[in-house]
Structure formats: C-alpha cells, structure tokens
A and B are shown apart, each in its own frame.
Chain A
C-alpha cells in the first residue's frame, strides 16, 4: 500500500490545464479561493469541474475579512457555504486579518490591532460564520509588516481568538518565519506558545527579502531551506493535517513545484510516521 500523502497545491489559472492532465505534478489535493470561482461559468468553470473531479478540494478564502470592524457580509458567507457544499469541501480556511473596512473592500490583508476588544469582536464573528457554514472556520496566522496599536503580543492575540471561539488554526510556517524575522522574535519559541492542538491545516510558501530588516510574503519564490527546517520542527508539534504549498506568482515548471512537494513529503514521512508509531 502506498503511503498516505498530505501535500497539496494551490489551484491557479496559470497552470490549471497543465495540472489536470499532469504526469509530473501530483498533489494529493488542491486549494482554491472560493471568491475566484463563485458564480463563474464558461471555460474556467469547466476547468474547475475537471480538477475537482480528479482532486479533493480545500478552500482558502480572501474576502471574509474576519477582523473587519464592519458587520459580517452574511449573503457572501452563504454563497461560500453553497460553494463548499457543491464541491464537498471539508476545509475552509481564512486569514486572521481584515481586508474590508468602513464598507470598502481593499483586496489585501491588513493587520488587526492585537487588542482584547478586537478578540471579543472577532470571536463573535467567527461563531456567526461557523453557524452559517456548519463547519469550523480555520484561521491563518498572517504575515504583517507593522503592528498597529497592539496591547498584547501576536501569540497572545491568536491564542485568545482560537481558544475563545473554538475555531481551528491554519499554521502558515512561512508566515511564522517572516514575522519572526520582521519583528525580531524567535520562531520556535513563538510556535511553542500557539494552540497547536487546534492546527487543522498547514501552509508552506516562498517569500522575498526586500531589505536587511524586511521580508514580504509574496508567494512568488521557492520555499527557502530555513523554512523547510522550521516546517520539520513545526510538524513534530502537531497532529497530521493537510499541507499546502502556496505559489501564486512567478510560477516555475511543474517539475520544480513537484520537487517542493516531494521535499515536504519526505519530511512528513519521517516525522509523522514515527509520531504515529509512538501513538
């Protein structure tokens, strides 16, 4: 029997056709943003349906804006729910950030003030979302380039939200690395303070160092060695969950992407098999 595979890849239009028939790239699942596909017909709907027939689908949203001061966009969440049902999606993750404010979408992820009132506000919104979706929301630690009006640390903020809302966590290993670099803290120490028992999904990605003191989370480069090392450390601390390689720009040959998946697979088989044997 072949070993269980945990690694998947983001489904991008840039390589959608190639992926569907690929003998090279063999993810065990694909991830897509529901916003990019809801209500779409024609050629791309056909490609999506073909891909969804071949691979299990997970969803990673862009516009929920869970940290927004605005009221929750209930009709939008209901559209997402319909989409998740249609494609039998078991994991729906989103970002612990905000991308809409005062009734305007910004289409990128802004850092939420690490504050207790924001925690309470977001916890209430998470519950509202989970009630509509009838499944747990999985929230990702995002990279950020400056804190704003923080009154607690990042890990306190994330932990409070996860613990008080009952949501699950998407652990983005690259984001931990990026934030540790940008905000000068120790990545492993940071990891040890997260509610790792709630991790339901993992992201891996590349980034771009733009100066001596700043890394931008671009998803446009290969994953670097230190992030693989942090990954090896991190997965030793969590139960086996799906692991996704994010590559949104600067897409290389599929061989190269498969190379990254295989490298993650081999780390996983080393760590999670022993974990299982010990369990």
Chain B
C-alpha cells in the first residue's frame, strides 16, 4: 500500500511542473502566492547556467530569443534523468538531436557544435582509464604501439572545431575527423585534426593492429601505390603523436 496520498502527490507534482514549465499553477493549497515564483526561478536558473556553461559557443552564437526558447522548451518537455547536474548537458544535446532542432532552426551544424562542445567537457571529466603497461624500446612497424587510452575519435560534418559558426561554416560541409584526448599530467584536453587516412591508421592502432599490417591494407584501400610514401607519412604521423604524448611507447 503506498503511504503517500494521491492528493499529496498531486500537490508535489503541481509544484514540480510549475518549476519546469513556468506556468503559474492552479490548485496548490495554502501557499504564499507572492513567493512561489522563486522556485521556478531558482530551478530554471540552475538548468540554464549548467547548459550555458557547457555550450558557450552555441550559446553565444544562437540569437538570444531562439536560445532562450530552446532552453525553456527543453526544461519543460524533457525529464532530466541524471542525478548529477553536470552531466545533464548531454541530455540537452540528445534532446536537440531527437527533436531535430538543427533543422527546425535551420542551423545544420548545430548538432556537430553541441557534440564537439560536450566532448570537450566529457573528455576532461570522464573517469580515469587505466594506462597500458609500456616499454620505451621498439619498432613502430613491427611492435604494438601503445596509446593514451583517455581519448575519443570522432567524425564531424562541419569543421566546428576550427571555424566559428558565424561565417562560412555552411559551405564547408564534408568529412572531418578529430582526435580528442586528455593529457595525463595536466588533465588538459587536446585536439588533433586528422585526415581520413590518418584516422584509418589510428582506428586500427586503437584496435591493436600492427602498423605494418595496417599499411598493407591501407595500400589497397586508398590505392596510393607508393608504399614508401605511405610508410614515411605514417611514421611522421606516429612521431608527431609521440611528441604530443598521445603515443606513449610500445605495449609491454
């Protein structure tokens, strides 16, 4: 038998609904009507603050009225699921995807922008991942290359990571690949722009494939027909990632 009476539950629901949608409610019993608005204000401000902090670029780019309407609709329509408010911006991104907000607002790059901004936050805060055991000595082609495990490799349709949404972003629709990783010592998030070829190599390295085997495959896929060039470029790429502390040695 539930102990809470239906009427008490309803009172709680009315107040909570008001906090979410801001429409002054009928039916709350024995309240101080002058003070009630503070609950809507306090709840809504928290949600707005968390989202605007997570998505500073989208926030400053979208027209104020559009942005405010979007946030207001989100908080009222969406039932926030996470008990951890700092993770709630991910629900905002999901909401925008599901509601197809980028098409409704006619900002086709909005999904990419929100995704990129979320990932910056996510990679910075994500749970620590155990680093693999490594050794310093080895051969890039024939030994398993060890990578910083705290990373994400993503594909974007608009270069939101290099171009401000104000200009020219629409004309630059294409395939963009981005490595996002967290530096071990500082915890800083770093970004590396990748070509499709380097992305292919990296994806395979992440799956533990040896570089020499990747190159054989790559040769047939990308039809470069210059195995030396392929090898030199790949080794330069690995050396570059080593300087960036993303390649951390060889798997021990």
Instruction: Give the interface of A toward B (CB within 8 A).
Output: 35-36, 38-46, 62-63, 67-69, 73, 76, 98, 100-108, 110-113, 115, 117-118, 120-121, 124, 145-150, 182, 213-214, 216
The 8 Å CB contact of A113, one of B12, B124, B126, is B12
Task: Return chain A residues, CB-CB under 8 Å to B11.
Answer: 113, 148-149
Task: Return chain B residues, CB-CB under 8 Å to A67.
Answer: 12
Task: Return chain B residues, CB-CB under 8 Å to A98.
Answer: 12, 16
Task: Return chain A residues, CB-CB under 8 Å to B80.
Answer: 104-107
Q: Which single residue of chain A is at the shortest CB-CB distance from B27?
A: A149
Contact B19 A106 (CB under 8 A): yes
The tally of CB-CB contacts under 8 A between chains A and B is: 148
Query: Smallest Cβ distance from A80 to chain B, in angstroms?
Result: 9
How long is the Cα–Cα vector from A69 to B153 in the complex, in angstroms? 42
Interface centre among A46, A110, A150 (most CB of B within 10 A): A110
Interface residues in B15-68 by Cβ distance below 8 A to A read: 15-17, 19-20, 28-36, 38-39, 42-43, 46-47, 50
Contact B81 A145 (CB under 8 A): no
Query: Which one, B82-90, B97-105, B131-139, B161-169, is touching chain A?
Result: B82-90
How long is the Cα–Cα vector from A216 to B42 in the complex, in angstroms? 10
How long is the Cα–Cα vector from A73 to B2 in the complex, in angstroms? 17
| B127 at interface by CB-CB < 8 Å | yes
Contact B8 A108 (CB under 8 A): no
Contact B29 A148 (CB under 8 A): yes
Task: Return chain B residues, CB-CB under 8 Å to A118.
Answer: 4, 8
The 8 Å CB contact of A43, one of B28, B32, B34, B187, is B187
Contact B83 A148 (CB under 8 A): no
Given A101-B13, A106-B43, A108-B46, is A41 in contact with B8 using a C-beta cutoff of 8 Å? no
Contact B36 A146 (CB under 8 A): yes
Task: Return chain B residues, CB-CB under 8 Å to A150.
Answer: 30
Contact B35 A146 (CB under 8 A): yes
How long is the Cα–Cα vector from A68 to B11 in the complex, in angstroms? 12
Query: Smallest Cβ distance from A175 to chain B, in angstroms?
Result: 15
Given A124-B3, A147-B30, is A42 in contact with B43 using a C-beta cutoff of 8 Å? no
Task: Return chain B residues, CB-CB under 8 Å to A214.
Answer: 34-35, 38
Task: Return chain B residues, CB-CB under 8 Å to A216.
Answer: 38, 42
Mask, B67-80, CB within 8 Å of A = 1, is: 00000000000111
How long is the Cα–Cα vector from A158 to B83 in the complex, in angstroms? 25
Q: Which single residue of chain B is at the shortest CB-CB distance from A100?
A: B83
> Can you give 23 contacting A-B residue pairs, CB < 8 Å?
A36-B84, A41-B128, A42-B182, A43-B124, A43-B186, A62-B83, A67-B12, A98-B12, A102-B79, A103-B81, A105-B85, A106-B43, A107-B50, A107-B88, A108-B43, A111-B15, A112-B12, A113-B12, A115-B8, A121-B8, A145-B38, A147-B32, A149-B11
Contact A107 B47 (CB under 8 A): yes
Query: Smallest Cβ distance from A33 to chain B, in angstroms?
Result: 9
Q: Which single residue of chain B is at the shortest CB-CB distance from A214?
A: B35
Interface residues in B176-215 by Cβ distance below 8 A to A read: 182, 186-188
Contact B84 A39 (CB under 8 A): yes
Task: Return chain B residues, CB-CB under 8 Å to A102.
Answer: 13, 16-17, 79
| B125 at interface by CB-CB < 8 Å | yes
Contact B127 A149 (CB under 8 A): no
How long is the Cα–Cα vector from A137 to B170 in the complex, in angstroms? 54
Task: Return chain B residues, CB-CB under 8 Å to A149.
Answer: 7-8, 11, 28-30
Contact A101 B125 (CB under 8 A): no
How long is the Cα–Cα vector from A248 to B21 in the complex, in angstroms? 26
| B243 at interface by CB-CB < 8 Å | no
| B5 at interface by CB-CB < 8 Å | yes
Query: Smallest Cβ distance from A201 to chain B, in angstroms?
Result: 21
Query: Smallest Cβ distance from B143 to chain A, in angstroms?
Result: 28
How long is the Cα–Cα vector from A189 to B226 in the complex, in angstroms? 88
Given A39-B127, A105-B81, is A69 in contact with B31 using a C-beta cutoff of 8 Å? no
Contact B4 A40 (CB under 8 A): no
How long is the Cα–Cα vector from A124 to B128 in the complex, in angstroms? 36
Query: Smallest Cβ distance from B248 to chain A, in angstroms?
Result: 16
Contact B4 A69 (CB under 8 A): yes
Task: Return chain A residues, CB-CB under 8 Å to B39.
Answer: 108, 110, 145-146
How long is the Cα–Cα vector from A151 to B184 in the complex, in angstroms? 56
